[in-house]
Structure 1
């Protein structure tokens, strides 16, 4: 018969092993929690800071390359005096040019009619930053680069130009994409844009002013209609346009912190002036 209150060595060893296992498990959980916290901080804070700094430096570099930065909105009178013919809603001579033109062909045709839009501007190289997008309502000023590659363009804090869509000032659709969260998140506050807000695109050759016209709050990531030359959603056909024009499209993920859907903001070219 065992004496009461006596603990054998085997029981002690089991208890000690249990305590060590519990302590080790707690250490593992704490370590995993710290690693996950660091990953979140890196993704939500450090990538933003790094990308925003990178984008600001690129904007400054482009401005130095072009000379004195062209700031401020363009007036319709200035646009008219330059011979663009784009003074009201950008639709005055839209029907004179094929909306399906790509590359620099549309610019060449329009230049021959006296507009001078994009004249002499070379086609940008893949991932090359070649323009500056400014949106006063969002206090945004960010580089525009060719292509929508994440590592080469979007993750640098840039806005990317969809290959195959038109360039600034050309007939058709100048379509752009940008991150809404992380990596500079230039389009985080895109839903704040309202009809009548201005969007400015500066290039080496000219400054183009677009005016926000319509918004598609949510659609499928595969809705390619929103970036067609005449933009119209294929998922929600009541959103978009039915006539050729001079359009800009801004796209990003929605809702925040997911990539389940896309949103699009459309605008029309309303002014242009050469540098």
Structure 2
């Protein structure tokens, strides 16, 4: 491991600690000790590495978690969300939320502005420093209920809310006993936003009747796949996808099958802290 890798690992330890303690006070001196950095230099080192100051980073992570809970857990009280995300009281939470997103928590809950949210809340991009474990497996075909999203990637969460609505209304693909997938037909970095296509899917055992949400039946074909497990935010899935295409595939000698990369979500952002999210990225092979 070279010096750059060791330096990155020290910061990863800090970021992991922040992610798992957002509901608690986070002392900068304690964070600097975790990484064995001098407290006199930690602020500058953090800003240089992440592109944002430590206090701002912590605030953004708290607001990101709160945003997901507001949108995807409508029965959860705003007061409870504020306290569970590390704010001293609902007033300070509301003030910080409005300053960051231009609306109150209750307004965001009623009508989430995901494009605006992405513009303000997407975390800094950091290069993946380590190689990844990639396994080749053979998967069985999967019949799924699919909601076809077409439009800006930032609007996928709006489609996700419609799919959740269908799941609850139909009872045909319950979260507790079915699998959840995403099929990425297009690369959001290269396709025009209005042409971006992405299916949100849940496994089903039989037909899907016509429904107001527009959910239909599709099949994820079986076959060989290269699978890499992604840990953390779905916004950073491009890191894992990039590694598969850029590093693993050329060195593997494998050839790709005519089906897009897809995701198997092992847990969901609606009820899981971002740092605990697990997603298996599938690259279909011949």
Regarding TM over 0.5, the answer is no
What's the TM-score once normalised by structure 1's chain length? 0.26
* TM-score, reference length from structure 2: 0.25
Q: Max radius of gyration: which structure? A: 1
Higher strand proportion: 1
